[in-house]
């Protein structure tokens, strides 16, 4: 971990939220709220704002690059990216074109985080067979890494038409498009990221963050074996910040419970109770929930333990309201970030 380069970011999936009266907001309003949240994050000097891609009724954002372009027009310094782009059910050329265009309109602030996604709705929506899950991602990631070189591309595979000495436009004006590989806990995915020389983004949404230390070690070993230069490691984890630990837990719990219960029913998980929730939010769990001091201490512990270069807080949770999210962002930028940077010895 390079303390001088440690970054603090925010991620959202554009969760469908409730208004002040407790009524569901329209998707369009939730999207506009995300833009406002990103503008606040930029004004606070945070490093990154990521927007997820989903194709279901509990998330408002299906086209992250469009939302990010709107954010780019209202922000100045914050880097903007996906969290994640579901590459398996998209076309690598179009993904590159969209994010190279975002890089242009944001004056070099675009990133893309490439993953297979934790939901599968995009596969039937765009006509892909889930039986080809692994092959789709492997081939498309291979093509995308070739596109990042910004030269003529010759490529062939089974999941799309071949390319023969083909240029793709627009090019990145300066350098290359920063592209991360998102990994949820598979050693094979870690090795794949190293093989392609991509920075590693660990999605830690359950269990103990420090249990991912072997993945960080595997990644560094694999980079060396593939002859790739050292690359940063980041973590994406859910959390919520309020003035006190109790307030943060009480604000988040009903929304988190409802949201995880729905996903659990879809996937065959049992419901979470309050005791399990608080254990997951404890010192060794994957939820970064509490006062600024509590959350900062936990981020520093994980950053040191895993050798991180970036931590992204997934701050939106189901129907948790816009004003509450704004306050969590404010505390993250004004109190958590300075504490983390001080303890890691990294200034802005």
User: Tokens representing 181?
Assistant: 């590989």
Tell me what pLDDT residue 263 has. Answer: 86
Q: What pLDDT, on the 0 to 100 scale, is given for residue 271?
A: 86
Report how far residue 157's alpha carbon sits from residue 110's, in angstroms, rounded to the nearest whole number: 28
pLDDT of residue 185: 81
Residue with tokens 């790739």: 228
Cβ 34 vs Cβ 297: under 8 Å: no
Instruction: Give pTM, 2 decimals.
Output: 0.96
SS3 175: coil
Block residue for tokens 């989903």: 54
Q: What is the 3-state secondary structure (H, E, C) of 195-211?
A: HCCCCEEEECCCCCHHH
Instruction: List Cβ neighbours of 215 (8 Å cut-off, separation of 6 or more).
Output: 183, 185, 187, 190, 200, 202
Regions in the chain scoring below 70 on pLDDT: 1-4, 346-348
- At 270-323, the pLDDT tens digits run 889 999 999 999 999 999 999 999 999 999 999 999 999 999 999 999 999 999
- The predicted pLDDT at position 253 comes to 97
Closest CA to 33 of 240, 331, 326, 315: 326
What is the phi-psi region of residue 146: left when phi exceeds 0, alpha when psi lies from -120 to 50, beta otherwise?
alpha
71: enclosing H helix or E strand: helix 64-72
pLDDT value of residue 108: 98
What the block records as the tokens of 39 is 């503008």
Q: Is the CB of residue 102 less than 8 Å from the CB of residue 68?
A: yes
pLDDT at residue 232 in the model: 98
Eight-class DSSP state of 268: T
- d(Cα 274, Cα 153) in Å, to the nearest integer? 53
């Amino acid at each position: 971990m390079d303390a001088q380069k440690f970054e603090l970011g925010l991620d959202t999936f554009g969760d469908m939220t409730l208004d002040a009266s407790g009524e569901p907001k329209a998707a369009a309003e939730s999207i506009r709220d995300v833009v406002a949240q990103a503008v606040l994050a930029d004004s606070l000097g945070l490093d990154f704002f990521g927007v997820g891609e989903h194709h279901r009724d509990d998330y408002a954002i299906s086209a992250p690059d469009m939302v990010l372009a709107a954010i780019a027009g209202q922000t100045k310094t914050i880097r903007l990216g996906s969290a994640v782009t579901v590459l398996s059910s998209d076309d690598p050329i179009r993904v590159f074109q969209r994010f190279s265009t975002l890089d242009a309109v944001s004056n070099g602030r675009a990133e893309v985080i490439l993953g297979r996604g934790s939901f599968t709705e995009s596969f039937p929506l765009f006509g892909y067979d889930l039986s080809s899950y692994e092959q789709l991602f492997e081939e498309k990631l291979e093509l995308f890494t070739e596109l990042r070189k910004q030269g003529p591309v010759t490529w062939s595979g089974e999941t799309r038409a071949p390319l023969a000495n083909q240029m793709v436009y627009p090019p990145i004006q300066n350098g290359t498009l920063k592209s991360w590989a998102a990994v949820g806990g598979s050693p094979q995915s870690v090795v794949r990221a190293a093989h392609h020389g991509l920075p590693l983004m660990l999605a830690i949404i359950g269990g103990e963050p420090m249990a991912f230390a072997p993945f960080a070690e595997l990644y560094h070993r694999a980079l060396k074996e593939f002859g790739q230069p050292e690359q940063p490691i980041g973590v994406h984890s859910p959390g919520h910040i309020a003035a006190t630990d109790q307030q943060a837990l009480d604000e988040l719990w009903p929304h988190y419970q409802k949201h995880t219960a729905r996903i659990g029913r879809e996937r065959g998980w049992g419901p979470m109770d309050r005791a399990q929730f608080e254990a997951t939010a404890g010192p060794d769990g994957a939820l970064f929930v509490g006062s600024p001091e509590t959350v900062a201490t936990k981020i520093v512990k994980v950053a040191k333990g895993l050798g991180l270069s970036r931590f992204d807080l997934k701050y939106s949770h189901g129907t948790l309201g816009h004003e509450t999210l704004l306050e969590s962002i404010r505390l993250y930028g004004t109190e958590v970030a300075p504490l983390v940077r001080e303890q890691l010895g990294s200034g802005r």
